[in-house]
Amino acid sequence: MKNHSPVTRRNSQPRSELWWQQRFDAHCVKHQQPLPKEKQPQIVFLGDSIIHRWEDEGIDAWMTYFATKHCVNLGYGGDCTEHMLWRLKNGELGNLHPQWFCVLAGTNNAGHFDDSPQSIASGVQSIVEQLKVLRPSARIVLNAIFPRSKAPNQRLRIRVEQTNLLLKALCDEKQVFWLNMSAQFLTKDGVLEANVMSDFLHPNSPQYVKWGEQIERLINDND
């Protein structure tokens, strides 16, 4: 499937895989439980496999930076923006009322569907707008899509960078804050090396430490 329209990509929709449905159902059940204020998460993470992998490659960094703050991981490997939007619209937050959301979305729209930067940004904007509706007092860390492909002139890298220019414009630095980790991952020549992301997409464990540090710093600076 290629070149879906922006409207198609922004439409929320679920996925059919059993593991995905089970993860969503489990979250909905768990998050329906009422929580005292002191048990509410500081941050809810929303995204695709890169967020999901806080549970494996990123687990040490998660334990260091986020576990004691009751943070919640709503990452699903393979999710596109429309799947995240569907989850939000269909009750995954339940009774969670975080101070912050940390959002990373869009790389699968670029890689799986070859969506345009404008279409991807439109999908991410729909997520941001939905979060504002659902939790108007929460603030949002909007992450730039992580670099893809080894060289700076490769098609997916260019598409991601073009999309990030549009995503940055969604940030007002009052409720929605921009976090771009690209400089942490790339050489000075813009090369993405295999010892940073072995598949040129997913960060390894040390990169999660860098990311966790930057998330914590941004939040501390703006709390």
For strands 139-143 and 176-179, give the pairing: parallel
User: Nearest Cα to 84, choosing from 41, 140, 40, 158?
Assistant: 140
> Is 115 tagged catalytic?
no
Let me know: does 102 contact 123? Beta carbons within 8 Å: no
Sequence letter at residue 53: R
Active-site entry in 16, 137, 199, 223: 199
Active-site entry in 49, 97, 114, 182: 49
CA angle in degrees (0–180, nearest 5) for 105-110-114:
150
- Burial group, residue 29, by CB count within 10 angstroms (0-12, 13-18, 19+): exposed
Let me know: does 145 contact 117? Beta carbons within 8 Å: no
> Is 52 tagged catalytic?
no
* Paired tokens of 170: 């969604």
> Is 25 tagged catalytic?
no
Strands of the 43-47 sheet, one edge to the other: 72-75, 43-47, 100-104, 139-143, 176-179
Give me the DSSP letters along 144-167: PPPP-SSSTTSHHHHHHHHHHHHH
Active site residues: 49, 199, 202
